[in-house]
Amino acid sequence: MRRFCLSLTYLIFFSISAILLCLILYSPLPALTASLASPEIRFAILLSLVTSVISTIICIAIAIPVAYALARYQFFGKRIANLALTIPLTLPPLVAGIGLLLFFGTTPWGKALETLGFVVIFTPLGIIVAEVFVNIPYMIRILRSAFTTVNPRYEYVAKTLGCTDTSAFFQVTLPMARHGLLAGTVITWSKAMGEFGAVLMVAGATTMRTETLPIALYLNISTGDLNLAVAAATILILISLITLCAVEYFDRGVHVF
């Protein structure tokens, strides 16, 4: 049994490593460098960084109070709210993207936002909206787990020393849950950088306009330009490796599921 388990572990490890190395080493270094320096890839990198950072900040701002409420308070409809917040986790990104496309493109609310100047469909704003919708459930679950691990007695002690509910949260609870917050931030940002399905449905795949790194990979593999596609894929692999190392460092006893 032990020999079988170890053999299977090594087989999977070497298979994954071989596939990733094959992708990274496909293009010679000069060709890869030239592809990374192309205007299209640079635009995709910049747009991916900007949209992912903005969407991550929005996710943090929304997820902190929501996760804290789910971890600390009992209220009417809590189970339904928890279920609704979990639904995006089970939806394929393409389905989520179609839902967003219909909501912002055909409903009165979407048209009202467009009248106010917030054009979501086939714009960079749509990238941010899609990333927030898909990734915020992950951020909420991670933070809820982090807040649950903090004993409420620390907050009670802080209040006896003169802290208000708000100051106790920011001075005691949030710092004690910082590892979960950091891990959730890194995961959310990484997933935003790699989001494809929902972004494709909402923002489209317009070169040098809504072209994030995954969209650049898709467009170039569709046209047969493997060098640019591999360049985009290499950047996404490096982001995944950096994210994995960061999460392993920050995730100390905080469980996503």
Domain limits for position 41: 32-250
- Predicted confidence (pLDDT) per residue in 123-154, tens digit: 999 999 999 999 999 899 999 989 998 888 88
pLDDT of res. 227: 78
* Longest alpha-carbon distance in the chain: 66
In a domain, 98, yes or no: yes
**Rounded CA gap, 213 and 217, in Å?**
6
pLDDT of res. 27: 61
pLDDT of res. 63: 94
pLDDT band, residue 253 (cuts 50/70/90): very low
202 in Cβ contact with 100 (< 8 Å)? yes
In a domain, 19, yes or no: no
- Predicted confidence (pLDDT) per residue in 80-97, tens digit: 888 888 888 888 888 999
In a domain, 25, yes or no: no
pLDDT band, residue 205 (cuts 50/70/90): confident
Provide the sign of the torsion angle of the four alpha carbons 52, 58, 61, 66, taken in this order.
negative
Q: How many CA atoms lie within 13 A of 117 on its CB side?
A: 0
In a domain, 240, yes or no: yes
- Predicted confidence (pLDDT) per residue in 25-39, tens digit: 666 666 667 777 788
In a domain, 203, yes or no: yes
In a domain, 23, yes or no: no
In a domain, 9, yes or no: no
Q: What share of the chain is helix, strand, coil (3-state, %, to 5)?
A: 80, 0, 20
Of 195, 238, 209, 202, nearest to 39 (Cα)?
209
212 in Cβ contact with 49 (< 8 Å)? no
Calculate mean pLDDT across residues 209-225. Answer: 87
pTM here is 0.84
In a domain, 57, yes or no: yes
pLDDT of res. 200: 93
Provide the sign of the torsion angle of the four alpha carbons 193, 195, 201, 207, taken in this order.
positive
Q: Give the CATH number of the domain where residue 163 resides.
A: 1.10.3720.10
Domain count, the chain: 1
Mean pLDDT (the chain, rounded) = 84
For a pLDDT cut of 90, what percent of the chain falls above it? 25
